[in-house]
C-alpha cells in the first residue's frame, strides 16, 4: 500500500494552497470593478445619522465622548 509521508502531505497541501491563491489572483485581475462605481452608485450618506449601530461600533461605551463625536466615530469605523 502506498502511503504518503507527513512531509509530502505538507508539501502537497502547501502546493494546493499556492495554486488556489494563484487562481484567485488571476480571477481578480480579470474582473475589474470599483466600489464607488459598482456598489455605491451615487448613493448619498446622511452625516446626521449613524452608519452602524452601537452594537457594532461600541461607540456607546466611550463614556468620555460627547454625542456628536460618538456619531462621528460610528461613521469612520465603517
Distance CA 61, CA 67 (A): 12
Residue of 5 and 29 predicted with greater confidence: 29
List, for residues 17-35, the tens digit of each pLDDT value.
777 888 888 888 887 777 7
Single pTM value for the model: 0.44
Amino acid at each position: 500500500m502506498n502511503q504518503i509521508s507527513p512531509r509530502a502531505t505538507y508539501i502537497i497541501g502547501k502546493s494546493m494552497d499556492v495554486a488556489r491563491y494563484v487562481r484567485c489572483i488571476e480571477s481578480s485581475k480579470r474582473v475589474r470593478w470599483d466600489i464607488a462605481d459598482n456598489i455605491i452608485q451615487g448613493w448619498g450618506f446622511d452625516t446626521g445619522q449613524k452608519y452602524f449601530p452601537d452594537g457594532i461600533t461600541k461607540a456607546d461605551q466611550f463614556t468620555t465622548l460627547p454625542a456628536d463625536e460618538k456619531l462621528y466615530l460610528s461613521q469612520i469605523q465603517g
